[in-house]
Amino acid sequence: MNDVTKSPILFLKPVLKQMVWGGSRLHEVFGYETDADNVGECWGIAAHPNGDSSINCEKFHERFSNLTLSALWKKEPKLFGDYDTAQFPLLIKIIDAKSDLSIQVHPDDAYAAREENGSLGKMECWYIIDCPEDAVLVVGHNAKTKEELEEMVQEGKWDELIRKVPIKKGDFIQIDPGTVHAITAGCLILETQQNSDITYRLYDYGRKVDGKLRELHIKQSLDVIQVPAKSAKDSVMGTLDLPKNQMNQLISCQYYNVYKLVVSGRCLVPNHESFLNMSVLEGNGLIDGVSIRKGDHFIIPANYGEVRIEGELVIIASTAN
Ligand code: ZN
């Protein structure tokens, strides 16, 4: 058990977001409480003005009662390892796409700072929790030059432009800023991203929502799309054969490190000097004696010490850089 001086693990209450493309699996598969039938996103670890998780006091002390993650970040910086950023740096979501999402692209920090009132850009990555057989995602495009890209967009040659890559359960995909991308119908995805909500919509399949086309951001998209795109084969990584009971690093980039941890029996996670985010995607078990199950999101404080996890679990974890 924890000694009393140790900061407890921070369990979070997620924020659920209704989306036109959302489904019912966040409720049915993960058990999040909602009456809505089009919940597209669960913001599991979030400290953003558009969604701020609160600390779950049922599992823990009054020290944190009624605090949001963004408030705790300011109030108790030592819990997180004294980062020098004003905002909690990452955002962890589970996304349930009942229908195709629009085709979009995110800016990098420099473009967002200049064009979006000092916002952060957005780098993100996806872990495929579940998807239909023969599923494809939109990752990248087929234009070889900026001129070709502009021509294909202006002339609406979407089938030629958009690059689809096959995926299966357990795949991991890094989406750099400037990468054209879209999640497709039937995919259930854990997304780890920079703490930003800036998205440019390039194409929406001509669909109408409540009788209207949704706004597109063609100029901004053309400004930020990277040409040529990263190769398709470098974009997707399988993770089903990784060893159990250890932190397997899936990516390390400027903003985050993401790990997959499959626990079978018992495992010890070493101390981290920075805080460690965890989201349970499958199974149930115990973390330092506290029960955890599919759908739980929590943060292990900086310098917490070794963590003992028992049970049968699939966890995606991350640290900030
Ligand atoms: Zn995105």
Structure tokens given for 303: 């310098």
Per-residue pLDDT, averaged over 69-86, amounts to: 92
Give the mean pLDDT of 108-115: 95
Q: How far is the CA of 289 from the centre of ligand 1 (A)?
A: 36
Dihedral sign of CA atoms 154, 156, 157, 161 in order:
positive
Based on the fold, state whether residues 64 and 46 are members of the same structural domain.
Answer: yes
The domain spanning residue 284 has which CATH number? 2.60.120.10
In tens, the pLDDT along 155-185 reads 999 999 999 999 999 999 999 999 999 999 9
pLDDT band at 4 (very low <50, low <70, confident <90, very high): very low
The stretch 189-195 carries a mean pLDDT of 96
Confidence of residue 2 (pLDDT cuts 50, 70, 90): very low
The pLDDT score that the predictor gives to residue 1 is: 42
Q: What is the mean pLDDT of residues 252-256?
A: 95
Task: Determine the pLDDT at residue 61.
Answer: 61
The last residue of one of the domains, among 187, 204, 238, is 238
Q: What is the mean pLDDT of residues 98-102?
A: 94
In a domain, 107, yes or no: yes
Residues 139 and 255 in one domain: no
- Are 153 and 252 in a shared domain? no
pLDDT of residue 278: 98
The answer on 275 and 167 residing in a single domain is no
Residue 5 forms part of a structural domain: no
pTM above 0.75, yes or no: yes
Query: Do 180 and 87 share a structural domain?
Result: yes
Q: How far is the CA of 182 from the centre of ligand 1 (A)?
A: 7
Residue 2 lies in a domain: no
**C-alpha of residue 191 to centroid of ligand 1, in Å:** 9
Which pLDDT score, from 0 to 100, does residue 36 have? 86
- Interval 282-292: pLDDT, tens: 999 999 999 99
Q: Angle at Cα 124 formed by Cα 250 and Cα 245, nearest 5°?
A: 25
The residue annotated as part of the active site, out of 201, 207, 293, 308, is 201
Give me the pLDDT at residue 59, please: 57
- 225 CA from centroid of ligand 1 (Å): 13
8 A C-beta contact, residue 89 and residue 194: yes
Whether 163 sits among the annotated catalytic residues: the reply is: no
Whole-Å CA distances, 50 to 39, 46, 142, 195: 15, 9, 34, 11
The verdict on 308 and 215 lying in the same domain is no
124 and 33, same structural domain?
Answer: yes
Residues 229 and 263 in one domain: no
Q: What is the 181 CA–ligand 1 centroid distance (Å)?
A: 7
Mean pLDDT of the chain: 93
Residues 225 and 270 in one domain: no
Q: What is the pLDDT of residue 60?
A: 59
Q: How far is the CA of 277 from the centre of ligand 1 (A)?
A: 20
Q: Are residues 268 and 179 in the same domain?
A: no
- Of the three residues 196, 216, 238, the one that is the final residue of a domain is 238
Range of the domain at 282: 248-320
